Structure 1
Amino acid sequence: MTEPQRPESPSSPSPPTPSAAEGHAGGGALPQARVVRRGRPSLVWLLPVIALAVGGWLVVKTLAEQGPSVSIDFENAAGLNAGKTKVKYKDVDIGTVTRIDVSTDLDHVTVTADLRQGSEEFLAEDTRFWVSRPRITASQVSGLETLLSGAFVALDPGSSRKQSRHFQGLARPPVITTDAPGRRFRLRADTLGSLNPGTPVYYRRIQVGQVIDYTLDDDGGAVTVDVFINSPHDKLVHTNTRFWNASGIDLELSANGVRLDTQSLVSVLVGGVAFDTPADLEATDTVAPADQFFPLYANRSAANKQVYLHKERYLMIFNGSVRGLNVGAPVSLRGIRIGQVMDIELDFDKQQLDFRIPVLVEVEPERIGFPEPQSADDQKDARVLRQLVQRGLRAQLKTGNLLTGALYIELDFHSDAAPAKLTQRQGYSVVPTLPTPLEAATNKITALLDKVNALPIEGIGEDLQAAVGDARELLGSAELRTAVDELSAVLSEARGVTAQLNSELAPKLDAVLGSLQGTLEDASRTLNNTNELIGPDAPMSVEAVRTMREVSAAARSLRVMADYLERHPEALIQGKGGGR
């Protein structure tokens, strides 16, 4: 074997290499490969290495600074553009919309947005997204700043600890954000009325909050309205606070008259909710916790109505017309409302062949201090009500409003009412009734007309006609004319005599009266002198007594003589005979 040839040094000169033709022609061996060692590497290769390092650093930096990516479902993508539309929180850019896709069922659009690094704290499960664009509603105007800048996706961070990357976007901006100070309360109402998100909430006609949302119950029986009361006014809501619907103009025309109530011009146009705490209830200092449920009353009067738990129902049967009496009409006792009408029916009485109208009323005995029944027997007996009926308690229809003709039921005592008892019907106590004042007057007039009809009007008319004929005949008789003429002559003569007496006797009478007056004065003086003369101790008085005694004796003698003459009148002629 031949020893391999050692490579030559790069510095030694290389011998000339024979060509292939020469080697082949000379018949020698094939040429051998020779390794040539290079010097330092070329600087050209440094540029790709630097570019690769910079690219890797940029990739690492980009991946390190890249934030979370979220997807949001919206009803439509109006105003949104991929790569241009921003995602903002409090007007600060925190991301960009990168993609907009339509869902496979064509029901909504899915917006993909890349957020900045550190935005993970905003992506709670209850975080809300919505598209901020110009909106004008009856209750508010929002999004006007987007007229120049364009629409953007707004974000309201949630408070849940659970994270999420997929969200359901809101159709409209939320009325209240999670960072707003205050508390939310929930109201239950039969109907929504004119309430909408953004509808103001008033306290003493001052706006202190607004409606944020409403939902219909699963069974459709009621509506839940969420309201938000701003701080510090949320402390005004207590556990016994009353909320009522203050929307529009509350005009009530009832038996009590016409009542008009409204909060403000805004509430008239867009509606409103008002609340207050009654001052006549206890425990008004307990502040209500957040999310507490309250009933939403239809109006202020319904909210201020005092509620009593104990209620009693009674029947009142009326025989006359009840036109104007409606369900809900008040039942009052001496002008104070104690209940209301619950039902009105029409009943046919087969025995009397007449119609009767049973009216079911509900009374709150606590309003008038009725003792609350302690047992079913006491309630069934109703001894207090029986005693009141025996004393004359009756129910009567009265007119509450002359304009509308609305009626109400008045309970009062009537001492002249016919005796009646408390009866039972269909499980209810039946309170006796009286006809209305108009019906009573009509009945009296009818009775009077019946009496008049019972009178023999025809006979009386005939007699009266005969009497008038006789009077006419008498008045036309000659005797009456003669008597009238004679009476006229007598009156003329009497008038002449009277005139003569006035002219002739009046002066004489005056003279006589003057003389009489002088005579009376003389007589008065004479009497005074006489009193002095006939005093008890005066001599004349003594003589007068003696004289009177003598006169008395003479009078007795004259009486004896008169008696004798009465018996013997002939003695005046013959004289007194012997023996008489």
Structure 2
Amino acid sequence: MASNRSYTVIGLFMFGAIALVVVGVLALGGNRLLSNSRQAIIFFDQSVLGLSNGSKVLFRGVQVGTVKNVQLRLDPNVGKARIGVTIEMAGNNTVMMNGSPTSSDVTTEELVRRGLRAQLVVWSYVTSQLAVNLDFQPDTKPRFVANRDDMELTEIPAVPSEIEQLKDTVTGLPWKDTLETVNETMESVVTLANDMDQLLNRMGPNLEKTTTTTREAIAAARDAVYMNSRQFEKTLESVRALTDNVNTQIESRDEQLTRLLDNAEATSANLQQLSENLEDLTDPNSGTRQDVESAIRDLSAGASSMRRFAETLERDPNALLFGGGQR
């Protein structure tokens, strides 16, 4: 009986120990066992100062894992050294579009074929801490560093960071040619400035002479303007006198024109009266016309008598002494 009890106590003790181990494992690393985590490696050419174990692994700002190890890996075949960064991506932060856990069929290799790339980003500008950012860039050609057959972990190709891209862009600029061009331009400017200085020194006396001549010309022009102004004033006075004379002549002629107009009006009245008298004379019913016609008839009879008397004298001159009856 005693031995059976001891075996039971030992079995209970062993069972309790195993239970404590399981609880501890679940407490400390159970999340990893149940999270379907996966690991991958990334090789960077640039400096990883600021990246350490435990740094964040992001996908467009969402943390999907952490950095597990940062190692310097040498490649004796090509004589290069690479920075190998091992990351661990937790499956509990990555789900499908409908919210279900990710399938084991979606492997890291498949994600790389679809364009998954890794890039260093600044996580904190205060502490200069870096992070690894994952994103799909299918347009970029993957650059694998290690032979995939020799690697235990899947390699995620790295792309240059924004700082490296900016540095490459700046480095690719033709700074030397630009500086040489700037230097030549500055030398040309200095030479031009010296030439201008010498030219101004040579032109200084000529400029002074020109200035003096200009001042004299301005003074002469001022005097000429003054003289012309005086002559112009005299001309204006003559014009004013002529205008006054013309006004006086016009006033005197105005009186004569007035008298002439009066005479013309009187003559017009006389002509009007004469016209009326002529109308009276030409009127058939006018007595004056009848008297005139009678006088004209008398004058015509007298003229006929004178003509006959003249003819008689022409035929017989003695008729004036003896009379016409004697013949």
TM-score range, shorter chain: 0.3 to 0.5
Instruction: Judging by fraction of residues, say which structure has more helix.
Output: 2
The structure richer in strand per residue is 1
Q: Which one scores higher on RCO, CA 8 angstroms, separation ≥ 6?
A: 2
TM-score with structure 1 length normalisation? Answer: 0.28
TM-score w.r.t. length of structure 2: 0.45
Find the structure with the greater CA-based Rg.
Answer: 2
